[in-house]
């Protein structure tokens, strides 16, 4: 049985990892992803398409570690509302709930807490701690994504196009 929350790469459900790798391959191509992750592009393709039912433990660990790198809060299972979809789904990243621009996302988060502060007598004492945690999480999610910029990598410096 898979946990509903984990920071252990080996405990992230296989179907979640398969979906994660598929999403990354769509953004970066099999070959680009294989080069970045140090895994063969055919290995990635077979894993994504279900040809590899049970990946090698090293690859599974690698997929899990990369998932956690892009999801710094860890794997949190979203409880399925639709009983027709029994697959575990990861809770979406905080940044996916906010505007796609980093500055705009931070501004919306600030606005939420500024509006909450209008009623200081009703604001729980933990509000500042929650605000700081959400800001840290949002920054970590944007930092992790920046390392995997969309598309192919630019040619090395000095190389002719």
Measure the CA–CA gap between 152 and 154, rounded to whole angstroms: 6
Residues making up the chain, counted from first to last: 161
Quote the mean pLDDT of the chain: 86
pTM, whole model, 2 decimals?
0.69
Q: What is the pLDDT of residues 140-158, one digit of tens each?
A: 999 887 665 555 544 455 5
The model's pLDDT over 61-110, given as tens digits with 9 standing for 90+, comes to: 999 999 999 999 899 887 655 666 667 778 888 998 999 999 999 999 99
| Region of poorest pLDDT, from 6-15, 56-65, 82-91 | 82-91
Sheet bearing 5-6, strands edge to edge:
5-6, 75-78, 89-90
Percent of the chain with pLDDT over 70: 83
Identify the pLDDT of residue 57: 93
């Amino acid at each position: 049985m898979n946990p509903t929350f984990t920071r252990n790469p080996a405990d992230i459900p296989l179907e979640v990892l398969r979906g994660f790798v598929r999403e990354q391959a769509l953004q970066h191509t099999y070959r680009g992803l294989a080069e970045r992750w140090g895994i063969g592009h055919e290995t990635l393709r077979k894993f994504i398409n279900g040809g590899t039912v049970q990946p090698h433990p090293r690859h599974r660990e690698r997929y899990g570690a990369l998932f956690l790198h892009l999801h710094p809060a860890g794997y949190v299972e979203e409880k399925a509302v639709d009983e027709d979809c029994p697959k575990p789904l990861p809770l979406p990243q905080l940044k996916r709930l906010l505007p796609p621009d980093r500055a705009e996302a931070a501004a919306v988060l600030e606005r939420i807490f500024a509006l909450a502060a209008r009623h200081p007598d009703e604001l729980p004492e933990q509000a500042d701690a929650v605000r700081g945690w959400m800001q840290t999480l949002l920054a970590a999610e944007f930092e992790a994504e920046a390392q995997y910029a969309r598309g192919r990598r630019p040619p090395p410096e000095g190389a002719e196009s």
